Amino acid sequence: MKYKDLINKMTLEEKASLMSGKDFWQTQDIERLGINNIFLADGPHGIRKQAEAADHLGLNASLPATCFPTAATVANSWNVELGEKIGKYLGEEAVAQKVNVLLGPGINMKRDPLCGRNFEYFSEDPYHAGKMAAGYIKGIQSHGISACVKHFAVNNQEERRMSIDTIVDERALREIYLTGFEIAVKEGKTKTVMSSYNMLNGTYTNENIHLMQEILRNEWEYDGVVVTDWGGSNDRVAGLIAGNELEMPTTAGETNLEIIQAIKNGEISEEVLDVCVDRLLDLIFSTEEVFSKPYKKDFDLEDHHRVAQEVAEESIVLLKNEGNILPLKTGVKVATIGEFAKEARYQGAGSSIVNPTKLDNTLDCLEETGFVNIGFEAGFERYGKKNQKKIDHACALAKKADVVLLYIGLDEATEAEGLDRQSMKIPENQIDLLNAVYEVNQNIIVILSSGAAVEMPWINKVKGLIHGYLSGQAGAKAILRVLTGEVNPSGKLAETYPIRYEDTPAYHQFPGKEVSVEYREGIFIGYRYYDTANVNVLFPFGYGLSYTSFEYSNMEVDKDGVSFQITNTGDMAGNEVAQLYVGCESTDIFRPSKELKGFVKVALNAGETKRVTISFDDKTFRYFNVKTNNWEIEEAEYKLMIGASSADIKLDDTLFVEGTGAPLPYEKDQLSSYYSGKVNTVDQDEFERLLERKVPVATWDRSQPLGYNDTIAQCEYAKGVFARFAYKVIVFAYWFLRKIGKRSTANIIMMSIYHMPFRGVARMTGGVINMPMLDGILMMVNGHFFKGLSHLLKERSKMMKFTKSQQITLDKATKEM
């Protein structure tokens, strides 16, 4: 251990105190030993350090910080170096605000397009997500502070995220859901990992020995800190045994006592605690070093804003350009229509909300363009309410224009942390607007704002489509520069856009509504499914247009990698993202038809040719063998494909690769869906054959009393009249708030109350309600109202007396020192 001498000077109580927060965002300090507290702050795409009242939902304003494009946006840049640059700027701002640990990036897989937090994640591909995340981490940690990669692991839905049991086979777990984290740990060298709320195959992730010890600590040799997601601790002692150092936020000492009692009872040895304390001390001292000497307490606001614009420009995706309507010519008359042109949709909602240092506005920036803006009309109500008058005004303006710039997309209340989307559609009132405008002017260019994939049955009615995703505080100007051609778009999609939601692989298994969610599609998510099962899509993974054209040629393959030439055959400088896909020609083990194994972004002037090399690495040919419980290589011919997208393969060749000689892990006739790749409708029997075990019952047992890990939503069938009444009040409040247009407030009810497990009431209230008091609440919920109320009041009184005595002891000790 690194700090053995210091740890030997600590009392058991002091060691235990370090294992949970001092308050909502800070760790505990031990003044007598020179151990400072450190500050953790949200920050996937900008620092969210709250100066006063703290919360985890983004309700209260934070200190001003640069709002960079979200991870889902930057992923479309396919530029790892750009990710590292963002990380450096995020790290600089974190240091200026004295933040030790920046809680990001988030790298969960986009298993399903409806996950409400997809805007905060990079990709449907683990290799792509891992490489982008490693760039961010290196940049952030170059300033001496820590990044915190999250949410570890298999956290792919928001509904019931704090209690859902994720049922996934070992191969899919390793190849799809952990590979990104593996890259973040091994290449990014993240100092902190955040465990997710959910269970994984029956055990909460922060208590999961297989995940936390066997894989993270032993296989990946991770020696950093694991912190719970806020309120994400279930059994504190089990978490400690698994190597979860830090529980956040504070529980006012309640779980510290659980650790102390477990050691005194012999349930765990004190050495287990010492190892966790040692790792946490290393994080504290290493990140405090930057603040022990003079450091910059401010940053160049304009420089950071310019970088936010640069990032947005490189991440914007051109999806359609019929008749080369773009870039717009100088002098063209445009009508600017759409609520999002006036009030931009530029970031997500929830814990990642950033208070921007400034915010570019489309209408203000139009004067800097070369085209003539003849006016603006909102055209639609932001949160979906129909308004024919607004449509009429928009159409009157559109008639007078050469081209219509139509700003549409998803609003803040539709995709947010804690909630999953209900459909892949954009609001109907926006489609009504588009249809009406099309009747009077068919030169429509849509500027789309959303953090995730949407259906586009209306796409044939638009000539141009620019997807800005959620492009941050400088996104408005970045989009205009793409429209005018000052910037040649080079973004490519990091997720597939299906034609309709029913085409998606997890359609029948998302989200898990009660006890569990089954990942029956296995390894076939995203393009792995569509390409293998031959399902047509609207836009494939890796797709994006340019104002110039590129030609691929002269592919060469050797044992170390592939090389080829790219030529810019157009008349404008541009950047091209070349992608390496690998497919195994053997059919002995089921595999996707192709998997991304490398990519590079190349800048080329008009007429220029460059030779590009993409090297193989340890992940190029591997698969996880469930019989050997190890990574293996199948001996076979492999098809190497260079593409402009997963569906646009420009060059290909084959290479024979020697294998590791592992036994075949599957019996082909037992897993026909997986060998065909057609996994949209896998039945339970076949999924259980893949798992090699029975799946748990996915529905609640309504005959049992409600417990710590049951949710407030389950009060619907509670035995206590009080609980059922409370449930109806919550449901009515949600309905009423949506009815009167308070959708954001309604959403907060769902994510902070409705889907909260009862243990969260204790874990998220900073000690105001402890677990013994929660026992009283559960008695009331389960039909013993007066007995429960008496228990609640009794335990409340005991807690207040204990807190008072602790304060007296502390004051006395302070005076003696």
Of the candidates 475, 499, 518, which is a domain's last residue? 518
Mean pLDDT of 118-137: 98
pTM for the full predicted model:
0.96
| Closest to 694 measured CA to CA, from 684, 682, 703, 680 | 684
Confidence of residue 740 (pLDDT cuts 50, 70, 90): confident
Mean pLDDT of 60-89: 95
**pLDDT value at 806 more than 70:** no
Contacts 24+ apart (CB under 8 A), 716-722: 718/781, 718/782, 718/783, 719/781, 719/782, 719/783, 720/780, 720/781, 720/782, 720/783, 720/784, 720/785, 721/785, 722/780, 722/781, 722/785
Mean pLDDT of 713-717: 94
Residues 509, 631, single domain; the answer is no
Mean pLDDT of 97-117: 97
Kindly state the DSSP code that residue 102 receives in the 8-state scheme.
Answer: E
What the block records as the tokens of 355 is 């208070």
Query: What percent of the chain is predicted at pLDDT more than 70?
Result: 97
Residues 512, 567, single domain; the answer is no
Contact 337, 405 (CB under 8 A): yes
Cα dihedral 774/776/780/783 (nearest 10): 120
Mean pLDDT of 651-678: 97
How many other CB atoms sit within 10 Å of the CB of residue 236? 25
What the block records as the tokens of 78 is 């396919």
Mean pLDDT of 749-764: 88
Q: What angle do CA 524, 529, 533 make, to 5 degrees?
A: 125
What the block records as the tokens of 448 is 């789309």
Biggest CA–CA distance in the chain, Å, is: 83
Mean pLDDT of 506-530: 97
| Residue 549 or residue 761, greater confidence | 549
**pLDDT value at 138 more than 80:** yes
What the block records as the tokens of 227 is 């912190």
**pLDDT value at 809 more than 70:** no
Residues 638, 561, single domain; the answer is yes
Of the residues 229, 420, 503, 531, which is catalytic?
229
CATH number assigned to the domain comprising residue 639: 2.60.40.10
- For position 811, what pLDDT does the model report? 63
Answer yes or no: 420 catalytic: no
| Closest to 228 measured CA to CA, from 16, 20, 517 | 20
What the block records as the tokens of 809 is 């002891």
Q: Which residue has the tokens 């998510």?
A: 525
- For position 748, what pLDDT does the model report? 84
Residues 380, 508, single domain; the answer is yes
Residues 315, 401, single domain; the answer is yes
| Residue 51 or residue 768, greater confidence | 768
Q: What angle do CA 646, 651, 657 make, to 5 degrees?
A: 90
Kindly state the DSSP code that residue 269 receives in the 8-state scheme.
Answer: -
| SS3 track for 149-214 | EEEECCCCCCCCCCCCEEECCHHHHHHHHHHHHHHHHHCCCCCEEEECCCEECCEEHHHCHHHHHH
- For position 73, what pLDDT does the model report? 98
Confidence of residue 747 (pLDDT cuts 50, 70, 90): confident
Give the relative orientation of helices 254-264 and 270-288 as an angle to the nearest 10 degrees.
140
Q: Say if 553 falls within a structural domain.
A: yes
Across 24-38, 410-424, 537-551, least confident range: 410-424
- For position 812, what pLDDT does the model report? 65
What CA–CA distance (Å, rounded) separates 256 from 268? 14
Q: Say if 669 falls within a structural domain.
A: no
| Closest to 496 measured CA to CA, from 130, 123, 108 | 123
- For position 815, what pLDDT does the model report? 59
Q: Say if 43 falls within a structural domain.
A: no
Q: Say if 444 falls within a structural domain.
A: yes
- Tens digits of per-residue pLDDT, 448-475? 999 999 999 999 999 999 999 999 999 9
Q: Say if 626 falls within a structural domain.
A: yes
Q: Say if 531 falls within a structural domain.
A: no
Confidence of residue 428 (pLDDT cuts 50, 70, 90): very high
Residues 508, 567, single domain; the answer is no
Confidence of residue 240 (pLDDT cuts 50, 70, 90): very high
Confidence of residue 318 (pLDDT cuts 50, 70, 90): very high
| Closest to 749 measured CA to CA, from 741, 763, 762, 737 | 737
| Closest to 227 measured CA to CA, from 29, 1, 40 | 40
* 65 DSSP β-pair partners: 356
Residues 501, 575, single domain; the answer is no
Confidence of residue 17 (pLDDT cuts 50, 70, 90): very high
Q: What angle do CA 332, 335, 341 make, to 5 degrees?
A: 120
Residues 716, 578, single domain; the answer is no
Mean pLDDT of 251-280: 96
Whole-Å CA distances, 686 to 520, 671, 689, 696:
9, 6, 5, 15
What the block records as the tokens of 148 is 């915190």
Confidence of residue 113 (pLDDT cuts 50, 70, 90): very high
Q: What does the DSSP assignment read for 44-76?
A: SSS-B--SSS--SSS-S----B--PPPHHHHGG
Across 57-66, 243-252, 596-605, 673-682, least confident range: 57-66
- Tens digits of per-residue pLDDT, 185-196? 999 999 999 999
Residues 489, 577, single domain; the answer is no
Mean pLDDT, all residues of the chain: 95
Mean pLDDT of 48-66: 73
Q: Say if 474 falls within a structural domain.
A: yes
Per DSSP (E only), the strands in 585-731 are: 595-604, 609-615, 622-625, 630-633, 636-645, 648-657
Residue-level length of the chain: 817
Across 27-31, 418-422, 645-649, least confident range: 418-422
| Closest to 476 measured CA to CA, from 305, 335, 319 | 305
Q: Which residue has the tokens 């926006």?
A: 430
**pLDDT value at 627 more than 60:** yes
Of the candidates 661, 682, 701, which is a domain's last residue? 661
Residues 623, 747, single domain; the answer is no
- For position 691, what pLDDT does the model report? 98
Mean pLDDT of 228-246: 96
Question: Cis omega before residue 696 (within 30°)?
Answer: no
Residues 501, 557, single domain; the answer is no
Whole-Å CA distances, 633 to 26, 179, 528, 622, 630:
45, 16, 19, 5, 10
Q: Which residue has the tokens 């206590």?
A: 720
| Closest to 191 measured CA to CA, from 101, 106, 128, 276 | 101
- Tens digits of per-residue pLDDT, 158-182? 999 999 999 999 999 999 999 999 9
Secondary structure (3-state) at 356: strand
Its domain, for residue 747, covers 712-816
Count of structural domains, the chain: 3
What CA–CA distance (Å, rounded) separates 672 from 435? 44
Q: Say if 16 falls within a structural domain.
A: no
CATH number assigned to the domain comprising residue 347: 3.40.50.1700
Using left for φ > 0, alpha for ψ between -120 and 50, and beta otherwise, residue 418 falls in left
Residues 391, 488, single domain; the answer is yes
Q: How many CA atoms lie within 13 A of 768 on its CB side?
A: 8
